[in-house]
Amino acid sequence: MTDHQLKLNVKTGCSSCSGCSGCSMAIKEALEPLSGVRSLDIILEIQSVLVAAEPLLSLDTIVAAVREKGEAINSADVDGVRQSV
C-alpha cells in the first residue's frame, strides 16, 4: 500500500510561536509514537506539519494526538484533498 501524504495546518498553544522548540517537541511527541507514521516534517514558521503515514492510520487519530498536546489543527489535506477536522 502507498503511504498517505498529510499536510496539517496547525495553530500552536504558544501565543508568540514562530517555530519554538517546545511547540515542535509537543507535536513530535504526539505523532512519532503512533503506529503507521513513516516520516514527519514540522515547519511551524508556516504553521505546517507534513506527515507520511500508512493508510490504516486515520486522520482522526492524528488530529486527536496533536490536540491532546494542546495544539490546534485548523485544516488538513490528505493526498492533496481537503478534509474536515
**DSSP label of 44:** G
51-62 pLDDT, tens per residue? Answer: 999 999 999 999
Residue with cell 511547540: 23
Instruction: Compute φ and ψ for 34, nearest 5 degrees.
Output: -70, 130
Taking each helix axis from N to C end, the angle separating 21-31 and 59-68, rounded to the nearest 10 degrees, works out to 140
Q: Is it the case that residue 9 has pLDDT exceeding 70?
A: yes
**Most confident option among 10-14, 23-27, 46-50:** 46-50
43, containing H or E segment: strand 37-43
Distance CA 2, CA 26 (A): 27
Q: What is the pTM of this model?
A: 0.87
10-20 pLDDT, tens per residue? Answer: 987 665 555 56
What's the pLDDT score for residue 45?
A: 84
Distance CA 9, CA 36 (A): 20
* CATH numbers and ranges of domains, the chain: 4-83 (3.30.70.100)
